[in-house]
Amino acid sequence: MYKTALFPGSFDPFTIGHESIVNRALPLFDKIIIAIGYNTTKDGYFPLDKRLEWIKTVFGEEKKVEVTSFKGLTVDFCREKGAGYILRGLRTSADFEYERAVAQMNRVMLPDIESVFMLTLPDHTHITSTIVREIIRLGGDADAFLPENLRNKIKVI
Amino acid sequence: MYKTALFPGSFDPFTIGHESIVNRALPLFDKIIIAIGYNTTKDGYFPLDKRLEWIKTVFGEEKKVEVTSFKGLTVDFCREKGAGYILRGLRTSADFEYERAVAQMNRVMLPDIESVFMLTLPDHTHITSTIVREIIRLGGDADAFLPENLRNKIKVI
Amino acid sequence: MYKTALFPGSFDPFTIGHESIVNRALPLFDKIIIAIGYNTTKDGYFPLDKRLEWIKTVFGEEKKVEVTSFKGLTVDFCREKGAGYILRGLRTSADFEYERAVAQMNRVMLPDIESVFMLTLPDHTHITSTIVREIIRLGGDADAFLPENLRNKIKVI
Amino acid sequence: MYKTALFPGSFDPFTIGHESIVNRALPLFDKIIIAIGYNTTKDGYFPLDKRLEWIKTVFGEEKKVEVTSFKGLTVDFCREKGAGYILRGLRTSADFEYERAVAQMNRVMLPDIESVFMLTLPDHTHITSTIVREIIRLGGDADAFLPENLRNKIKVI
Amino acid sequence: MYKTALFPGSFDPFTIGHESIVNRALPLFDKIIIAIGYNTTKDGYFPLDKRLEWIKTVFGEEKKVEVTSFKGLTVDFCREKGAGYILRGLRTSADFEYERAVAQMNRVMLPDIESVFMLTLPDHTHITSTIVREIIRLGGDADAFLPENLRNKIKVI
Amino acid sequence: MYKTALFPGSFDPFTIGHESIVNRALPLFDKIIIAIGYNTTKDGYFPLDKRLEWIKTVFGEEKKVEVTSFKGLTVDFCREKGAGYILRGLRTSADFEYERAVAQMNRVMLPDIESVFMLTLPDHTHITSTIVREIIRLGGDADAFLPENLRNKIKVI
């Protein structure tokens, strides 16, 4: 059976932690769709098209990775894409509580969907898009927290 | 002694989890006042009058339940209403930390007040108003997370 | 309706934190049964009869409090005693996770039972029987953590 | 690539929560090895051969499931069996902290190994082998927490 | 070696909990710089100059305390000030997860910096600037949560 | 003022995580006493004299470090040694809850004592003596989790 996983997020920006989760999950699935959920009322800090472009830069050659965006519910997009799995990275126990609530709600709305979790590496545990964004916004150098291909590319706006 | 409990919240919207807490706490008190705390500077997503109306629909016949709203501090409203207890539902350990801080602050301001906690049912543990609201806003069907009387009634606005 | 709550524990020993929970819960119930669950294979540190005697000393005059012990499941003892509520104190989020698991298991075995939680006071949050016992065992003075009536009474054995 | 996952535990006893994790993870792997780690100095409550027999009863017909036991380190057994994944169920945030520590230690010792986590269902979140064992030991009826095939089979010893 | 610690925060407002952390940390350092991090896009509730003035009022005579504000990254300000330590108070485990992420990010950006944590007193564990601010905003009396020198001074704006 | 910190633990065995905490805390204190608390009824896995010897090997040349053992309460040993600080490493939020309880109890018994916490490095967050001990006991290679001077020295017993 063809196994597709959705890796949803706002990726504002995509970090070295996200990259590692996708790379380590790739052998487990036939396809991973990295999908930026967005809505018209609440923008991210970086523009949607930039965020998509950056992720494409990271996984340029990788055939099993698709990069896209969606409006609406994650479960509806899974249905549309035929994705049977939602992939998520877990950093801390605070993450876990939130991820559990979302996963259980998703399961009620789409019982076929299964959420699969992998751990961030120890060196990535402290890296959140929120803090990385704040560093960039304050003029700091966040390259250590970004995928290699994106270093020197993501700047304060 | 007449025992009145305040069940404060923003109830934006009132979920099946809230309904269950009130129903299971009813035998313990002579009266439960479900009270929407609001302030003029920070609106909720659903209008205050709608939120009140929905809760009244849920407990229509129940004499021991009063539904109302208040401005200002919860402890001041307890004093005004003669409520000796604050009733709260606990879902997760993240909830707990926040609820504990609020309860201890309330106790310093009004030493007579006692916070009483009940657990959400396992099937309701993942249900938060925030996620339910998000589902409705994104056009999803949130009926599974709403009290029976409110299904088909709460729509995106 | 007559409202009986069971306050189960090993109370090895009964601390100032336990005392406070019972005293603050008393107005909410018609009777509180403080019940030491024990089994023949795993003894406590202090002998069962001493632990019972100490709790009786604390609540000597209080008609609404009964002090006893039981073997077997807590829910079976609730049924035997006609207790509709299980009273528990919550100290920390670590407590909470464990208490939630136990409460949900109890509810599956006895759906009528309702677990009711109250918070320990800020000054009692750090007091656990385990640490108090360890202090006594190491020859320290644990009086600050014991009910007033028990000070100078509980010694290393 | 052939994907084998190890599902290690003491399964003392195997619960309905464990069963659900395995069943939901099966489509993701070519084989799942349910493996009871044991050592000669610390016995479980139920005998090892009984625990193995019970799990075999649960998955009798399922070709993709192997049931076995091992001494020594989990990573060494993974190497021996050619398992590239360790499968674990997550119940609560307390679980999570412990699972994370173990997974990170395993990764240091065997960098190829990837730990994959799935969530217990909401109705299973409170079910731990420890509490189930305690219920059985105290003479209670734990059938609601056991796989259907094991009901009436696991008794106090 | 001269030991300088930075105590960064928004202190909106400075509470009795913050005051206690600084006073208890003073013997450990030669100088503590209490520094309000601010940025032009996100204002606090109380004006920056008021917040600075209030903290100066609290530590008026204390030679080892400097009160100031900064824009940009905390680590850059540490470098500028020659501070080798970042001092933080820990209240709850929720605090801890966030503080750990920030501290680890800081260490990557400035490896020489060491974060040092002290616990809030039990009576201060529930006091957060957020809740204190909310009390003041709703017209309540927050004096019990403020340093003695600031009582009657901080009012709703 | 001469600043002495006690770093108490069972250190069964002393890990690379412990070593890092001591080294990073050294500049903050005039002396750090690494002290193994033991009691006659509950032995550790490794013999006390071995554990002491190993720690001495790690800090051989360091004049500011003293390695010793003690019976009884930590606060009594602080008093005896004139230590005004208890130094502790924090790994996870589970750690934190326990450490907070112990620290608050210590403060009640010896108000002058101040507990100071430092974070384990990200790469050490998952390292606990319990898991390291288990690895050694099961015949695994735990050298990656031990101070450099102790590699090849700590074996299963």
Chain C nearest-CA residue for F75? C140
D42 touches F: beta carbon within 8 Å? no
Query: What is the residue-averaged pLDDT of chain E?
Result: 92
Q: Please report where in the chains the tokens 């001990």 appear, as a residue.
A: F133
pLDDT over 70, % of chain C: 97
pLDDT at position B154 is 82
More confident residue, C68 or A139: C68
Chain A nearest-CA residue for B123? A104
Q: Please report where in the chains the tokens 């069971």 appear, as a residue.
A: C6
pLDDT at position B42 is 67
Q: How far is D105 from chain F (nearest CA, A)?
A: 6
Q: What is the pLDDT along chain A (157 residues), one digit of tens a residue?
A: 799 999 999 999 999 999 999 999 999 999 999 999 987 666 789 999 999 999 999 999 899 999 999 999 999 999 999 999 999 999 988 788 888 888 998 999 999 999 999 999 988 989 999 989 989 988 889 999 999 999 888 876 6
E137 touches F: beta carbon within 8 Å? no
Strand pairing of A31-37 and A4-9?
parallel
Q: Are E135 and B72 within 8 A, CB to CB?
A: no
For the residues B65-73, what does the mean pLDDT come to? 95
Round to whole Å and give the CA distance between C145 and B129: 40
pLDDT at position D57 is 96
> Is pLDDT of F96 > 90?
no
> Is pLDDT of F42 > 90?
no
Residues of chain A contacting residue E75, judged by C-beta atoms under 8 Å apart:
140
When pLDDT is cut at 50, 70 and 90, the band that residue C85 belongs to is very high
Interface of D with F in 48-67 (CB under 8 A): none
Per the residue annotation, which of E64, E79, E91, E107 is the catalytic one?
A: E91
Residues of chain F contacting residue A97, judged by C-beta atoms under 8 Å apart:
none
pLDDT single digits (tens) F46-79: 999 999 999 999 999 899 999 999 999 999 999 9
Q: Considering CB atoms only, which of D71, D97, D108 is closest to F94?
A: D97
For residue A128, count other CB atoms closer than 10 A to its CB.
21
Per the residue annotation, which of E42, E63, E93, E155 is the catalytic one?
A: E42
C148 touches B: beta carbon within 8 Å? no
Known catalytic membership, residue D91: yes
Round to whole Å and give the CA distance between E103 and E85: 11
C137 touches B: beta carbon within 8 Å? no
Question: According to the 3-state scheme, what is the secondary structure of D71-104?
Answer: CCCHHHHHHHHCCCEEEEEECCHHHHHHHHHHHH
For residue C117, count other CB atoms closer than 10 A to its CB.
25
pLDDT single digits (tens) B9-38: 999 999 999 999 999 999 999 999 999 998
The CATH code of the domain at A4-150 is 3.40.50.620
Residue C13: asked if its preceding bond is cis (omega within 30°), the reply is: yes
D94 touches F: beta carbon within 8 Å? yes
Q: Are A128 and E97 within 8 A, CB to CB?
A: no
pLDDT single digits (tens) D141-157: 999 999 999 988 887 66
For the ranges A36-50, B86-100, E5-19, the one whose mean pLDDT is highest: E5-19
Name the packing angle between helices F93-109 and C93-109 (round to 10°).
110
pLDDT at position C57 is 96
> Is pLDDT of F156 > 90?
no
Q: Are D114 and A85 within 8 A, CB to CB?
A: no
Question: According to the 3-state scheme, what is the secondary structure of D9-54?
Answer: ECCCCCCHHHHHHHHHHHHHCCEEEEEEECCCCCCCCCCHHHHHHH
Q: Considering CB atoms only, which of B1, B84, B119 is closest to C103?
A: B119
Q: Are D140 and C75 within 8 A, CB to CB?
A: yes
Q: How far is E130 from chain B (nearest CA, A)?
A: 11
Q: How far is A54 from chain B (nearest CA, A)?
A: 26
Q: Are F71 and C138 within 8 A, CB to CB?
A: yes
When pLDDT is cut at 50, 70 and 90, the band that residue E89 belongs to is very high
Q: How far is A61 from chain B (nearest CA, A)?
A: 33
C140 touches F: beta carbon within 8 Å? yes
Chain D nearest-CA residue for C96? D94
pLDDT single digits (tens) B108-148: 999 999 999 999 998 998 899 998 998 998 888 999 999 99
C116 touches B: beta carbon within 8 Å? yes
What backbone torsions phi and psi does residue C142 show, to the nearest 5 degrees? -100, 10
Residues of chain A contacting residue B133, judged by C-beta atoms under 8 Å apart:
none
Neighboring chains of C (3 or more beta-carbon pairs < 8 A): B, D, E, F
Known catalytic membership, residue E129: yes
Q: Are F73 and C128 within 8 A, CB to CB?
A: no
Query: What is the residue-averaged pLDDT of chain F?
Result: 92
The interface predicted TM-score (ipTM) is 0.92
Beta bridge partners of residue A118, listed in sequence order = A89
Q: Considering CB atoms only, which of E97, E100, E109 is closest to A140?
A: E109
Q: How far is C86 from chain F (nearest CA, A)?
A: 25
Q: Are B27 and B156 in contact (CB under 8 A)?
A: no
Known catalytic membership, residue E93: no
pLDDT single digits (tens) D41-75: 567 899 999 999 999 999 998 999 999 999 999 99
pLDDT single digits (tens) D6-47: 999 999 999 999 999 999 999 999 999 999 998 765 678 999
Q: Are D49 and D11 in contact (CB under 8 A)?
A: no
Q: Are F156 and F139 in contact (CB under 8 A)?
A: yes
pLDDT single digits (tens) E30-62: 999 999 998 766 678 999 999 999 999 999 989
Q: Are D119 and A122 within 8 A, CB to CB?
A: no
Q: Are B90 and C100 within 8 A, CB to CB?
A: yes
Neighboring chains of B (3 or more beta-carbon pairs < 8 A): A, C, D, E
Q: Which of B42, B71, B73, B98 to mutate to test the interface with E (most CBs of E within 10 A)?
A: B73
Q: Are E72 and A128 within 8 A, CB to CB?
A: no
B97 touches D: beta carbon within 8 Å? no
When pLDDT is cut at 50, 70 and 90, the band that residue B152 belongs to is confident
F135 touches D: beta carbon within 8 Å? yes
Residues of chain C contacting residue F35, judged by C-beta atoms under 8 Å apart:
none
Chain A nearest-CA residue for D121? A104
Q: Which of E38, E100, E105, E106 to mutate to test the interface with A (most CBs of A within 10 A)?
A: E105
Q: How far is B127 from chain D (nearest CA, A)?
A: 11
Per the residue annotation, which of F51, F88, F129, F133 is the catalytic one?
A: F129
| Residues whose CB falls within 8 Å of the CB of residue F59, separated by 6 or more in sequence, listed in order | F22, F34, F65, F67
Question: According to the 3-state scheme, what is the secondary structure of chain F?
Answer: CCCEEEEEECCCCCCHHHHHHHHHHHHHCCEEEEEEECCCCCCCCCCHHHHHHHHHHHCCCCCCEEEEEECCCHHHHHHHHCCCEEEEEECCHHHHHHHHHHHHHHHHHCCCCEEEEEECCHHHCCCCHHHHHHHHHCCCCCHHHCCHHHCCCCCCC
Per the residue annotation, which of D79, D91, D151, D153 is the catalytic one?
A: D91
Chain A nearest-CA residue for B96? A97
Q: How far is A121 from chain D (nearest CA, A)?
A: 8
For the residues C18-39, what does the mean pLDDT come to? 95
What residues of C are annotated to the active site? 18, 42, 91, 129
